[in-house]
Chain A
Amino acid sequence: MIISVDPAASRPPYEQVKTQFEHLIRRGELAQGTRLPTVRQLAGDLGLAVNTVARAYKELEADHLIETRGRNGTFVLASRSQTDDEETRAAATMLARAAHRAGLSLSEATRVLTEAW
C-alpha cells in the first residue's frame, strides 16, 4: 500500500497525508487494527518534516480513525464505514423518537426521511 505527497501541490502536505489515510480507511484497505508506520519513518520516506506527519496523525486521531498506543505504535481504530454506521444508527434512533412524539406512523416517518434524502 502506497501513499504519495507532492510538495508543489496547492494543498498542504499534512492534508494530503490525512486525506489519503482517510480514503484508505474508508475503502477498507486499511483494516481495523492495522499498524501504521512510525511518524519518523513516514516523514523520512515522504521527505517531510516529522511535525507535518505528526499533525496528520493527530487530526486522524481526533476523528477517531486511528489510535496511538504509547510505544506500541499507531493503529487503525475503526474503518470509516463502521464509524458512519454508528452515526447513522444514532440519527435514525433520534428520528424514530421524534416521529413517535409527533404521532407519525412508520410510513409517514419514511416519507419525511425520503423527502430529506
Chain B
Amino acid sequence: MWIFLAVAVGFTVGTVVVWRKREEIGLKRAYSLLQAGLPNETELVLAAARQFQRRQAASTIGAWLGGISALIVFAALGSPIMGLIWSVLFGTFGVAVAICVVHIRAVRAARREGPRLATLGQRRLRDYLVWPEIIAQYGELVLPLATAAIGVLVLARHDAPRVGWSLVGAGVACLVVCAIALVLQRKVLALSQPASGESELRWDEALRAATLRELSEMMMWACWILGGATVISADLPSGLPSFVEPLANVLFCGGIAVLSAAQLSAAGKWGLRRSQRAIG
C-alpha cells in the first residue's frame, strides 16, 4: 500500500514539474532537431517548439487521466494490479490520441495559399525511424502475447482465476492499445503537409517523424508495463511450469533493454538525421 502511495506521489510531482516546464521542454526538443541539421529559421524553430509544447501538455493530461482512472479502479476493486492496468491503458490511449490530434491540428492549421511543395519520397515507417526502433516497436509485442499466454496457464490451474484474468486482460488490452497506435501511425504517414518552401518542408517532415517516434515509444512503454511489469508484479500461484518465472524475468529485463536501445538510437544523431531522410 505504501509503495503505491509513494508511486502516486512521485507520479503527481513528476507530472506537475513536466507541466510547469513544458515550454522549456518544447524549445529543447526543437533545438535537438536543429542540431541534426534542419534549417535554422527562427519562425520555423519557434513553430516546432510550440507544437512540442502542446504535445507535452496533451501527453501530461493523458497521463493524469490514466492516474485518475487507476485511483477509481483501485478504490472500486481494491486491486493494485487492475489499477495499474487501467492507468496504463487510459494513460497510453490518452497520450497516443493527444499526440495524434495535436499533430493533425497543427498540419490542418498550416493550410495556406500560394506555391506548394511535395516530396517524391515514399511514406513508409522505415523512411522516418531507424531500424532498431522499428524492430523494437514490433518486437515488444511479444511481451503482451507472452503475458496473455501466462495468464491462460494460470487460468488452466483453477486456483488463482483473478490473477489469470488480470494477466489475460493486461495482454489483450495492450494489444488493443498497440493496434490503435499502429492505425494512428498510418494516419500520420498519410497526412499531407502543406509547405511553401524547402526549409518548411524539412521541418514538417521532421515533425512527422517526431510524431511517429512518439507513437512508437508509447507502444513500447505500454508493452513493457502491461506485458513485462504486470507479470513480474503478479502473485503467480505455485505449481506453474518451471520456465514461467525465468520467462517473466526475461520479459521484464529484455523489454526494458530493447526499449532503452530503441530510445538511444532515436535520440542519437543517426535517429535525428533520419527525420530528414524522407525528402532526400
Contacts and interface: CB of A to CB of B under 8 A. Distances in A.
Interface residues of A, number: 19
A47 interface: yes
A40 to B, nearest CB: 8
Nearest to B198: A2
Contacts of B114: 6-8
Contacts of A12: none
B120 A46 contact: no
Contacts of A81: none
Q: Which of A4, A7, A8, A36 has most chain B Cβ within 10 Å?
A: A4
B246 interface: no
A42 B119 CA distance: 8
A45 B118 contact: yes
Nearest to B204: A45
Contacts of B121: 1, 37
Interface in B180-205: 190, 192-195, 198, 201
Nearest to A20: B120
Contacts of A36: 120
Contacts of B279: 1-2
Of B118, B123, B198, B201, the most chain A CB neighbours within 10 A belong to B118
Contacts of B111: 47
A66 B119 CA distance: 18
Contacts of A46: 116-118
Contacts of B116: 4-5, 7, 45-47
B115 A2 contact: no
A30 B117 contact: no
Interface in B104-128: 111, 113-123
B278 to A, nearest CB: 10
Nearest to A40: B190
Contacts of A19: none
B239 interface: no
A112 to B, nearest CB: 43
A28 interface: no
Given A30-B120, A37-B120, A37-B122, A5 B115 contact: yes
A82 interface: no
A90 interface: no
A3 interface: yes
Nearest to A48: B116
B60 to A, nearest CB: 31
A26 to B, nearest CB: 15
A2 B119 contact: yes
Contacts of B122: 35, 37
Contacts of A42: 118
Nearest to B196: A4
B241 interface: no
20 contacts: A1-B279, A2-B118, A2-B198, A3-B117, A4-B115, A4-B117, A4-B118, A5-B115, A5-B116, A5-B118, A7-B115, A35-B122, A37-B118, A37-B119, A41-B118, A44-B192, A45-B192, A45-B194, A45-B195, A47-B194
Interface of A: 1-8, 24, 30, 35-37, 41-42, 44-47
Interface of B: 111, 113-123, 190, 192-195, 198, 201, 279-280
Given A2-B118, A8-B115, 7 more contacts: A2-B119, A2-B280, A4-B117, A4-B118, A37-B119, A37-B123, A45-B192
